[in-house]
């Protein structure tokens, strides 16, 4: 895989002419001027501190409010009945019902993020992915949702019934990194076939990934199959420098591999960058690190990649590291404004 020569030229503490130095406030204004970038778009899913506005049904013009207080929004547990792989959630980023496919019930992952909520002190349920069981679980849960049965369950009954009756997407997201499985393309094919069988032509297939495996042959085949089914890749990027990447994601995967995978994937189709911003030991990401992060996004576009948007979010649930804490809505908004100003990208905020 060819790595652009300028990927690692920034170093661990990047600087640029005219940028703020390390003495400025961690969330200071960007050094890039708006004259050199497209006009940024300010997007927030939240119509109020406890709600968000999103399209619903077949008509994107019909709004619905998805509230943070709903049980199915608060609880994103990947366990459902006696299923092994498939589970339902109400997702802010999906704008409604998302059916998750957990390809890592064994909890295997190539990242060890400081904010990961997966409890790896207890054993996982299975090591192998049984495609027939994935298919059967997905078929049953889709039928259950479409018939209104899901909305009658205690976890979902405080939301309007229509929220749990429309399947917004089927997302590969679970207790580890979905691209670590050896047959990712076959897993995508199973999901695509079930959606075709259920006549859910508008339901998206989403891959939520740490980006480390996007260069694998089976993953490339699987993502190409997703492209034919309103597929979206939501790829993680939490850092701008190798040092901060090691601090937050704690992975043995090289940072330049992550960056190269993002670029090569974005050259083929638009991707969504998903980034979690937080405080460590009471301190948010520094202005220098945030500038480096923004330059990574610009390098992807300058290299021929297309970024659909950035999902900027913070912690929503307890973390295993007590020193990893959430940003306030105002702090996250300041980060998002900096990203918009330096890149011109559409940024959605999820406080």
Report pLDDT digits (tens) over 305-335: 999 999 999 998 778 899 999 999 999 999 9
Model confidence at 107, in pLDDT bands (50, 70, 90)?
confident
pLDDT at 240 over 80: yes
Does 65 map to a domain? no
List C-alpha distances in Å: 245 to 238, 239, 275: 7, 5, 12
Adjacent-strand bridge partners of 236: 274
Please indicate, yes or no, whether residues 22 and 110 belong to a single structural domain of this protein.
no
pLDDT at 232 over 50: yes
Please indicate, yes or no, whether residues 350 and 247 belong to a single structural domain of this protein.
yes
Model confidence at 222, in pLDDT bands (50, 70, 90)?
very high
Please indicate, yes or no, whether residues 224 and 117 belong to a single structural domain of this protein.
yes
Please indicate, yes or no, whether residues 227 and 103 belong to a single structural domain of this protein.
yes
Please indicate, yes or no, whether residues 86 and 214 belong to a single structural domain of this protein.
yes
> Considering 214, 236, 258, which residue would you say is the last residue of a domain?
236
Does 100 map to a domain? yes
Angle in degrees, 0-180, between the axes of helices 287-302 and 329-343, rounded to the nearest 10: 40
Please indicate, yes or no, whether residues 51 and 110 belong to a single structural domain of this protein.
no
Q: What is the mean pLDDT of the chain?
A: 82
Does 8 map to a domain? yes
CA–CA–CA angle 15, 17, 21 (5° rounding): 50
Please indicate, yes or no, whether residues 37 and 117 belong to a single structural domain of this protein.
no
Please indicate, yes or no, whether residues 191 and 285 belong to a single structural domain of this protein.
no
CA separation for the pair 6, 26 (Å, rounded): 25
Please indicate, yes or no, whether residues 224 and 248 belong to a single structural domain of this protein.
no
SS3 204: strand
Taking a C-beta distance cutoff of 8 angstroms, is the pair 220, 227 a contact?
Answer: no
The average pLDDT across 232-253 equals 96
Please indicate, yes or no, whether residues 135 and 227 belong to a single structural domain of this protein.
yes
* pLDDT tens-place string over residues 177-203: 999 999 999 999 999 999 999 999 999
> Considering 236, 254, 269, which residue would you say is the last residue of a domain?
236
Give CA 328 to chain center in angstroms: 19
pLDDT at 25 over 70: no
Model confidence at 4, in pLDDT bands (50, 70, 90)?
very low
* pLDDT tens-place string over residues 113-167: 998 887 766 766 667 899 999 999 999 999 999 999 999 998 888 888 888 999 9
> Considering 181, 212, 236, which residue would you say is the last residue of a domain?
236
pLDDT at 235 over 60: yes
* pLDDT tens-place string over residues 327-346: 999 999 999 999 999 999 99
CA separation for the pair 117, 188 (Å, rounded): 25
135: tokens are 């298919």
CA–CA–CA angle 119, 122, 128 (5° rounding): 95
CA separation for the pair 81, 105 (Å, rounded): 14
User: Which percentage of the chain shows pLDDT scores above 70?
Assistant: 76
Please indicate, yes or no, whether residues 89 and 210 belong to a single structural domain of this protein.
yes
* 213 vs 120, more confident: 213
Domain that holds residue 75: 70-236
* 112 vs 144, more confident: 144
Does 63 map to a domain? no
Taking a C-beta distance cutoff of 8 angstroms, is the pair 350, 44 a contact?
Answer: no
The average pLDDT across 83-106 equals 91
What pTM was computed for the model?
Answer: 0.79
Does 64 map to a domain? no
């Amino acid at each position: 895989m060819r790595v652009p020569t300028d990927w690692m030229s920034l170093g661990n503490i990047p600087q640029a002419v005219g940028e703020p130095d390390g003495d400025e406030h961690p969330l200071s204004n960007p050094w890039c001027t708006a004259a050199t970038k497209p006009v940024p778009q300010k997007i927030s899913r939240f119509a109020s501190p406890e709600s968000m506005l999103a399209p619903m049904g077949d008509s994107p013009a019909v709004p619905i409010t998805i509230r943070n207080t709903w049980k199915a929004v608060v609880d994103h547990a990947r366990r459902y009945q006696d299923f092994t792989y498939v589970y339902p959630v109400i997702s802010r980023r999906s704008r409604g019902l998302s059916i998750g496919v957990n390809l890592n019930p064994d909890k295997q992952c190539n990242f060890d993020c400081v904010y990961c909520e997966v409890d790896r002190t207890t054993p996982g349920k299975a090591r192998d992915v049984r495609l027939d069981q994935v298919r059967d679980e997905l078929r049953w849960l889709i039928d259950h949702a479409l018939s209104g049965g899901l909305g009658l369950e205690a976890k979902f009954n405080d939301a309007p019934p229509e929220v749990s009756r429309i399947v917004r997407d089927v997302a590969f997201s679970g207790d580890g990194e979905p691209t670590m499985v050896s047959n990712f393309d076959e897993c995508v094919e199973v999901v695509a076939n079930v959606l075709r069988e259920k006549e859910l032509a508008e339901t998206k297939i989403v891959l939520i990934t740490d980006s480390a495996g996007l260069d694998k042959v089976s993953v490339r085949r699987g993502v190409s199959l997703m492209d034919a089914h309103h597929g979206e890749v939501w790829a993680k990027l939490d850092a701008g420098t190798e040092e901060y990447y090691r601090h937050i994601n704690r992975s043995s995967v090289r940072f330049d591999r992550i960056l190269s995978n993002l670029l090569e994937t974005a050259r083929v189709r638009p991707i969504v960058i998903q980034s979690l911003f937080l405080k460590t030991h009471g301190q948010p990401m520094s202005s220098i690190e945030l500038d480096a992060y923004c330059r990574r996004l610009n390098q992807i576009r300058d290299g021929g990649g297309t970024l659909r948007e950035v999902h900027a979010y913070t912690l929503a649930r307890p973390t295993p590291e007590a020193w990893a804490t959430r940003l306030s809505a105002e702090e996250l908004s300041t980060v998002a404004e900096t990203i918009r100003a330096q890149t011109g990208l559409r940024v959605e905020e999820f406080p």
